[in-house]
């Protein structure tokens, strides 16, 4: 078309057609992109990477991602260690459970044995008491002589006692005394000094042994010239220990004003305020005395109630203390000092 001439169409339509044609051509044949080209909306310069729209650089993002990865790796290793430790703990717990079950069985076995031993122990104590009683009964005809000097009997101890015992006890025996055996206890002392050994004399007749014991209790220590001889019954060791334990409580019995008596073989009879009891075990008696002593202490610590005291003149001019008779016991009619009403 010649320059300067018009075609009758608006000039803007031609420019639109050109732009439309160019866009259609690029759509059909897009330009080849260089792989080194940056993505759209990203501006690159020769220096460091530019910051994005949020103000965070790509290097920092990569660093944070790397740090998170390392942390995750550490957490993975920690989880693996924790899993292994948990597995070992489970194995240990299973072993403990097996041990506890075994211990439960052993404890049940021990309890069964202890129960049987308790029954056997009670039976054993009963048998022991019966054995002690049998031993004491077998010694009923025995007499224990203490204080008889060594060698005074000469060569025949049996004949010496047969002649001496009736004299020192002032008893005439019919038939005469007869002994099954007589001997001193323990080996003979080589130096001949010290306390003389005791003598055990087994009489043939029990009645004669009882007569000698009764005479010895009535007369006290027997006299052979200037020598004192004590005569006592012969008991087993268990019975002797019980008798000594009972006798050790005599001071407390006297202090508590308790009447008592020790009877054969080993039993203590007491009377307190008309109440009589018999004890076969010293521990039971000791417990009973503890209760009595506690009661006596409570009685001593009880305080009297306060009295209503007033002063009244007496014939001598001194004040005389009186009280309300409904509230207490009598006080000293002439107290020291002045009493306030």
Measure the CA–CA gap between 273 and 256, rounded to whole angstroms. Answer: 11
- pTM, 2 dp: 0.52
Which class for 24: exposed (0-12), middle (13-18), buried (19 or more C-beta within 10 A)? exposed
pLDDT tens-place string over residues 319-336: 443 434 443 433 344 444
**Comparing 231 with 304, which gets the higher pLDDT?**
231
Mean pLDDT confidence for 6-33: 55
CA 81 – CA 84 distance, rounded (Å)? 5
Q: How far apart are CA 173 and CA 268, in angstroms?
A: 32
Least confident piece of the model among 123-127, 199-203, 250-254, 325-329: 325-329
Q: Which residues contact 271 (CB under 8 A, 6 or more apart)?
A: 258, 259, 260, 277
Residue-wise pLDDT tens digits, 109-152 = 888 877 777 777 788 888 888 999 999 999 999 999 998 888 88
For residue 141, report the phi and psi dihedrals to the nearest 5 degrees. -90, 5
Question: What are the C-alpha distances in Å from 206 to residues 142, 234, 262?
Answer: 9, 13, 21
Rg of the chain (C-alpha set): 59
């Amino acid at each position: 078309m010649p320059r300067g001439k018009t075609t009758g169409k608006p000039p803007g339509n031609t420019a639109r057609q050109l732009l439309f044609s160019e866009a259609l051509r690029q759509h059909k044949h897009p330009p080849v992109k260089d792989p080194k080209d940056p993505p759209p909306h990203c501006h690159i310069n020769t220096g460091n990477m530019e910051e994005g729209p949020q103000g965070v650089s790509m290097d920092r993002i990569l660093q944070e991602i790397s740090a998170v990865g390392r942390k995750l790796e550490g957490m993975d290793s920690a989880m693996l260690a924790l899993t292994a430790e948990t597995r070992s703990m489970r194995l240990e717990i299973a072993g403990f459970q097996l041990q506890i079950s075994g211990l439960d069985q052993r404890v049940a076995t021990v309890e069964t044995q202890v129960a049987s031993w308790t029954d056997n122990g009670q039976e054993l104590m009963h048998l022991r008491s019966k054995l002690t009683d049998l031993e004491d009964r077998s010694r009923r005809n025995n007499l224990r002589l203490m204080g008889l000097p060594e060698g005074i009997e000469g060569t025949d101890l049996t004949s010496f006692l047969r002649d001496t015992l009736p004299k020192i006890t002032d008893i005439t025996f019919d038939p005469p005394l007869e002994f099954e055996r007589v001997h001193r206890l323990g080996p003979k002392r080589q130096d001949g000094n010290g306390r003389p050994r005791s003598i055990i004399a087994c009489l043939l007749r029990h009645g004669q042994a009882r007569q000698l014991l009764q005479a010895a209790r009535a007369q006290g220590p027997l006299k052979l010239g200037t020598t004192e001889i004590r005569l006592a019954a012969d008991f087993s060791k268990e019975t002797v220990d019980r008798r000594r334990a009972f006798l050790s409580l005599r001071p407390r019995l006297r202090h508590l004003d308790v009447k008592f008596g020790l009877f054969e073989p080993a039993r203590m009879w007491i009377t307190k305020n008309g109440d009589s009891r018999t004890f076969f075990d010293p521990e039971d008696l000791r417990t009973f005395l503890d209760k009595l002593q506690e009661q006596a202490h409570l009685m001593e610590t009880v305080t009297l109630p306060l009295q209503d005291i007033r002063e009244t003149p007496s014939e001598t001019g001194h004040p005389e203390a009186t009280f309300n008779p409904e509230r207490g016991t009598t006080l000293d009619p002439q107290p020291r000092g002045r009493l306030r009403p």
